[in-house]
Structure formats: C-alpha cells, structure tokens
Structure 1
C-alpha cells in the first residue's frame, strides 16, 4: 500500500468512527428526545447531527471537492455563531429523518471526494488536513452530545463496560517535581493539529511540582466536608459570587442520601461515589477553591504541557506522554469505551517520562491560563474556530476526557470554556512552586 493509500485509509477510518458514534448517540433515543432541549446550555441532539453534516458539506463537498451544494438553504440554520444554543429549538430545523438523510447524502459525496483528492497542494488539503479537521469536528460534537445525554432526565440508554482497575495506584497526594528549564510547547509539525496548537515555541519555566494523578472524588470530599463550599476565603471574589448565585454545594450530579452517603448520577444511573476516581463535573471556580484549600494552585497551561510532553533524557517534547504512537486501550481512557473516569493508577503505560499519570483521557483538566494565541499564531482555516475566543473569559483545559476520541486528543490539544461550566467532563490536578530545584 502506498503512502497516499495509507493516508486515505486512515482518514476513512477516522471519518467512519466518528459517524458510527454520532449514529449511536442519536439512535438510542426516540424522536421526542432528539428534538428536545435537555438544558439551555446544550443544543437539541438533532441540531448537532445536522450541523455535523453541514460543516462536512461546506468544507469537504463544496471546498475540497468543488461540488454543487447539497443544501445551501440550511447553511444559516446550522451556523453556530448565528444562533445561541438556547434559541436553537425554536428554529425550523430538519426533523430526525431529514437530518439522517442529509448527513448520509453528504457522506456519500465525501467518499467520492476522498477517492479523488490529491491530499497535497493547498494547505487545507495537504496531508488530508480538511478530512481530519472534519473528523475532529464531528468527534467534538459527539462529546458534546454525550454531555447532553448526561443532562437528560429520562431512563438510561447508554451502556459500556466499566473502566479497568488500578494497577499502579499512586499514594494519595503524590506529586512529581518538574525541574526548571525550557521546553518546546505546541507544534509546527503535527499535520492534523489545529491552529491554536501552533506554532511550536520555546517556553522557560521555573521548577514546579504537579500532582501525579488527577484529584479524586475522595480528596474532593475532604474539601467538601471541611466546609469548602461555605468558606469564602477559599474562593476568588468572582468564584464566591458564582457559588452563591448558583447555590453550588457539591460537584454537579452528586447526591446525598439520608444516611449521609454520597452518590453520583451517571447517564441516568445512580451509583455510589467511587472515592479513587477523578472528580468530574466541577467548574474552574470549584477547582481553584479546592487548590487553595489544599495549599496549592492550579497548574498553568505551560506547566501542564511540560509535565505531559517533556522528556528529561532527550530534552525533546513528545506527541503524547508515552511517546509518539497513537493511544490504545492500555494508554488512556478515551473514545467513550467507558462511561466514566477510571480510578487513578489504571493506566501505568500512559505515564509521562517524569512519572505523571492520566494526563490524557479520563477528565479534561482545568488550568489557570486564559485562552490566548501562541506567539506567531495564524488563524486557519477560519477565524471562528479559535481566534474569536481569544481574550475572552475562557480558561484552558487540557488532556481530554473519557468522552474524547483519540483523533481529537494529543499532548498539544487545547480546549477552553467559561469558568462557570460544569456540564463538561472536567476535573483537575494541583501544582505548587518549588524553590531551589
């Protein structure tokens, strides 16, 4: 098989895996649930489905393929910047059958385009970037649809085996010291990296310590039991104001029974709170308050990436904590193989050279950094993916969650959200300064 044929095959696998997941997330509920808005923070599932098809049509059918539009008349309906999520149920959206027929028609044309595309020349087409971008876009919406399922109030419809048990459980509160020095942050060579991951640049950091694993439910419960949600001195001024206005008293989806035991609701199933699993569905403000309570802080984005990618033996930055190879089921909890984070210590093969674990998968991790462009940033292929969000009230999250597909996750990948958001699959780990290391 030639290099071009191998690349075409990889792209076909990524596109098919994304579409299979989209189908699974939309075919497990009836039409009423597909058109319903389960939270004002989320779109109806049927909007996400047709939007996936519309983006695929815009970039692959019309741009790369140079073909006539399939449905130009719906472009405005599925433009995410024209209609906020809360307003989308009132739009004249395609019904579920129409949406399924539309995305299938678009995909049939995409296969024809992929067969003929040179995969070189224009930057958009070089190395199959446009096809990979669309696979990543669909998987990002699949994770959003998975979050919508978590917000549903109906009976459970999703199933998956439990994550693996720990085989390398770190000590509670274990940390790793990262020595001072420069490292390469971002990438200029990964062919499928998105614009905000570029370009590669050198960053100098003082020494710091970072948790060997994400903060667990058990650790967070200590903060809660110590009055963490009732102590304004632990919160930033904005964080405390939000805690009061939103009446936050525990992570989202936690419930306490009459005997004082904590449970969590996971995709419609109420289960005992697993103490050794990373805490999830916490906002940036909650993570920040916990870190202050623990006498620590949240890591910066650069600290997180150095802990994840820097190899002290070579001085080079890896694509993933474990090396250059694509993640498999032994490296990380990705791709919705499971429906929850794995207990800390479940993926020893995924540790970084410094010994930091579970940096990829399980939970997105809040950092203290605002979402800003790297030096030399250039928007590509459109400003609305990253540039319009720079300089706003967005905090960076890194690492991916159990609901993130491998095609949309790597050591350089950057996510961002508002500091109040909790419906996303977000947790965190702590860091601290180290003097004299």
Structure 2
C-alpha cells in the first residue's frame, strides 16, 4: 500500500506553488496583524502568563524566522538585523525569561517584520521551486507560512490567558440540531499507510509514509462534549484516584485542579471565561482546555481509553473503498468552510456533530478542526525519519515527555493542518486548545 497524496513537485505547475505560497503568507500576516493590533502597546509588551511570550516577542520572532529561512537560506541575502538573532531564538531563551530581554518595541518589531516581508515577496516572484530540497515545491515558503500560523495560534492562546476586556470577536459557528447519530464507529483492522512521502509542505515528523497494521477498534463519532465531561465531574471524577495515573493524580492534587481550565462553578451552574467573556458552559461543544491526564482519566472512567496516534490517523485517513490513505477525512480536497472549523473563523468549537461534509468514509466527524485531540501515544519518530531542515523542529522533542495531539483546533489555519499533521505537548498542558475523543478495542 502506498501513500496516495497528490501534489508532488513533478505534477503541479510552479505557478500553482507561487500562488499558494503568496496566499498562505498573506493569510498568515493578516492574522498576525489582527492579533497584534487589537490591543494597545502595554498589552503587547506584557507577559500575560509565564507559559507564554509577550505578543511583541512573537511578532519579531515571526519576522526573524522568515528572514533566516527565506532571505538568508533561500535567497542568500545579507542579514538585515543579525544582532537580534539570539533575542528571538526560541531555544536560547525560555518563555519566562523573554520579558527581561531588550526586545524590539512594537513599532520597530512591525517595521522589521514588514521590511522582511517586502523582500520575501520579491524573492517569491522570481522563485523557480526547483533545485534543493528546501526550495523544491516551495517547501521553505510553506514552512515559513506554517511557522507564522503556529505562532498566531500561540498568540491566540495568549489572548485567552490575558485578563481584561474583550479584544477579539468572531461570529459563532452555525447552530446544529442535537447530534443523534451513533456514538461510536468501528474502524476495521488491517494495514494502512501512515504519514506521507509526497505532501509537498509536510514537515519532517510527518515523514516518511509507512505501513501500519492496526487491529479493529471503535472510536467516538465526535469529540467528547462539555456535557459528557460534566458527568465525569459530577460523579466525583477529580476525587477518585482509580481513574488517574500516579503522575496525573499527583499533578491535579498539587495544583488543586477540579475542572477544565477557565471553568468555575457559580452556585448550581458552571461558567467559563472565553476571550474576555464569561458565559455558561455550552453542553454540546467539545470540551476544551483539558490536559492529557484529564483526558486519560475521563476515558478510564467511561470504560474506554484514548486512541493511539496510529488509530486516530487511520480513522481520519483510511478509505475502505480503495484501501488508500486520503489527505483529509473527506478526501484529498483542501479544507473548505463546509468541512471543518479552522482558521480562527470562529473563536470556539462548533457543536458536536457539526460539518457532516467533513466526516470520514467510516462516519467519524470533526476529526479536523474544533479541538486538538490528545492521543495515547508518546511523540516518537517514524521509521526512517530524517530531521529536515533543522533538528530543533521535531527531533529534540522525541521521547516519553511529550504526548501527541492530532486534528487541529478552531485556532489552526488549514496550511498547518492535515490528516498527517502531528502536534505534541507536555501531558500537563491545558492552556492549549485541547480536547479529545475516546476509543476501545473491538474485543473490549
């Protein structure tokens, strides 16, 4: 079985890559601009959580990475601001230390990022999209667009952590009728192709495509909802060590965790804070802002488990009609608004059961968008993995310290989200836009 992903450099007109690169870079910069102009300068330079950078650091870091890869590495140009490279090296300075650095002030950071972008557009205009692996199919442009969108998601997390009046608005997803379909779907056993070797802008940890043999299993049709998670809370789930790993139990006790992040009980009602607005917890939405330990505990309480990363990808990509692996649950077409909740189009997940046009051939819904989904798997390399273009993107994070998340959230842009895309984080993280769905083995 082979990877069936379309769109290799040999069968796509270079102009298509140029147009895609321009559109992706422009969309990312428009979003960066929104996220950094909706608040005043003191909010940009403040650190709203020790877990996050000041927004102004992200802004200049985006420009610096774009300069490093597209102007210096691809175009061979002289450095614009070499003296700031170490300031914006994510591995040189932990987030908690960044406010103390001599960062570019907001106006200067904007000017620098704008100067870099103007030069990048000139480089893009003359790019051939052939030659080295970095330039083939416009990979470097795609990598930079994905990097900026990943930081845009990070900045959106910072906005959620920020205290103060509402700064961002967006329309709510379309309301849908209460989902009454099957609660779970059987994914047949057998081989499938995991990862990709042909998706032009796939990052190193998604490669190479390889055969995986998966026993049959059941997976939730939709992500676990707030209403379902509330049942776990009301049943004393946070007070019963039976459902928790030893590390998870110690963590929630140490930090007095009794509900998802941003939730609080007000009398008989549960409320949450969402981008500066306090509202009742909506029972139909996928649960959000839970860590891996919480997701794992809920699954145990429900008599189920978290899906492995391979199970999740098979549920999302496997086409039983052909035996092949698709780019997305709905097929090979790029995501549209009918398929998934992506791109910060909304500032919340859509109700469970939304986007029937985006369901997989097996009938699983909302595998892409809405919430990142915790899996049971550690973040490990695929067989034959090779770091590219730098080991700090993936390789330094491999191991048991990080758990894999899949699928993307409402905060993820389509350029940084596909059926093979892998995200990872520490199992204690809750500020991220994370939820989950559960699974069970067929013989369980």
TM-score (norm 2): 0.96
1:118 CA drift (Å): 1.2
In the alignment, what sits opposite 1:301?
309
Residues 170 and 213 in structure 1, CA contact (< 8 A), matched pair in contact too: no
The answer to whether 1:434 aligns with 2:442 is: yes
The answer to whether 1:245 aligns with 2:245 is: no
The answer to whether 1:341 aligns with 2:349 is: yes
1:89 CA drift (Å): 0.2
- Structure 1 residue corresponding to 2:151, chosen from 141, 148, 151: 141
SS in 2 for 1:7: helix
In the alignment, what sits opposite 2:6?
none
- Structure 2 residue corresponding to 1:397, chosen from 381, 401, 405: 405
State the alpha-carbon separation in 2 of the partners of residues 357 and 107 from structure 1: 38
CA deviation digits over 1:182-217, x for unaligned, max 9?
000000010000000000000001111000000000
1:167 CA drift (Å): 5.4
1:168 CA drift (Å): 7.6
Where structure 2 has 5 or more consecutive residues not aligned to the other structure, the ranges are 1-11
CA RMSD of aligned residues (A): 1.1
1:117 CA drift (Å): 1.5
CA deviation digits over 1:276-320, x for unaligned, max 9?
100000000000000000000000000000000001111000000
In the alignment, what sits opposite 1:51?
61
1:164 CA drift (Å): 1.5
1:56 CA drift (Å): 0.1
In the alignment, what sits opposite 2:424?
416
Residues 213-362 of structure 1: pairs in structure 2 closer than 5 A: 213-258=222-267, 260-362=268-370
State the alpha-carbon separation in 1 of the partners of residues 326 and 17 from structure 2: 22
Residues 149 and 413 in structure 2, CA contact (< 8 A), matched pair in contact too: yes
Count of equivalent residues: 433
In the alignment, what sits opposite 1:34?
44
In the alignment, what sits opposite 1:85?
95
State the alpha-carbon separation in 2 of the partners of residues 435 and 368 from structure 1: 18
In the alignment, what sits opposite 1:98?
108
Residues 178 and 284 in structure 2, CA contact (< 8 A), matched pair in contact too: no
SS in 2 for 1:370: strand
Residues 299 and 430 in structure 1, CA contact (< 8 A), matched pair in contact too: yes
The answer to whether 1:184 aligns with 2:156 is: no
1:166 CA drift (Å): 2.2
State the alpha-carbon separation in 2 of the partners of residues 84 and 60 from structure 1: 25
TM-score (norm 1): 0.98
Residues 192 and 314 in structure 2, CA contact (< 8 A), matched pair in contact too: yes
1:6 CA drift (Å): 2.4
State the alpha-carbon separation in 2 of the partners of residues 247 and 167 from structure 1: 36
Residues 155 and 268 in structure 1, CA contact (< 8 A), matched pair in contact too: yes
Residues 105-184 of structure 1: pairs in structure 2 closer than 5 A: 105-166=115-176, 169-171=179-181, 174-184=183-193
- Structure 2 residue corresponding to 1:24, chosen from 27, 31, 34: 34
1:3 CA drift (Å): 2.0
| Runs of 4+ that moved beyond 3 A | none
The answer to whether 1:199 aligns with 2:205 is: no
State the alpha-carbon separation in 1 of the partners of residues 16 and 207 from structure 2: 25
